Amino acid sequence: MSVTAVPLRPIAKGSIAKLWIGVALAVAVAGGGAYLGTSGAAVANAGTPEQFLAWNAKQKGVVTTASGLQYQVVEEGKGPKPTDEDVVLVGYKGTLRDGKVFDENPQASFPVAGVVPGFSEGLKQMSRGGKYKLWIPPQLGYGEQSPAEVIPANSLLIFEVDLLDFKSMAEIQSEMQRLQAEGAIPPQGMPGGR
């Protein structure tokens, strides 16, 4: 067997230094990428709900209440805010941290006190016409008792909420009685009534 010799060209002066500088820069960029991959939004999105909320609390416009609910005002409403004695009309979209939508409704009505504590607390921060984003920690949401397969236990819930209107329970009951008296709806307990 024969070996063929390949002549090597001489290395230009300063090329080795440039090579080592390039290697050092590559290592620094890789190290910086690794650091960023283990901090900030990356850990927040892949970490526990507590890690996410700690990161999210530092974002512009995010308010954290004493209970741990976080909200951001997208558009401020006007006028009074609902209480536990009110029924709200809202549009909302509920997602998990990965963006998966678990519930959405452009117009839903329900009692303020009839929803998970974090959603109720968020509604009581809003005025008519307001649009908020809510981040509800597991202990103010469903906790370990998931209501559906699409919401894993101990999930952080994220809601975009539009408060369209609200009325007191007394106003609604008075309106129902008026409509029953006018025959627009059947009285409670009668055939065809609910």
> Which stretch of 41-45, 108-112, 179-183 has the lowest confidence by average pLDDT?
41-45
Region 1-10: mean pLDDT is 63
Domain ranges in the chain are: 20-59, 61-174
* Residue 96: strand, helix, or coil: coil
92-125 pLDDT per residue, tens: 999 999 999 999 999 999 999 999 999 999 999 9
Secondary structure element (H or E) that encloses residue 30, with its range: helix 15-37
Q: Which CATH class is domain 61-174?
A: alpha beta
Instruction: Give, for 49, the enclosing helix (H) or strand (E).
Output: helix 49-56
More confident residue, 179 or 159: 159
Q: Which one-letter amino acid corresponds to residue 183? A: G
Check whether 5 has a pLDDT greater than 70.
no
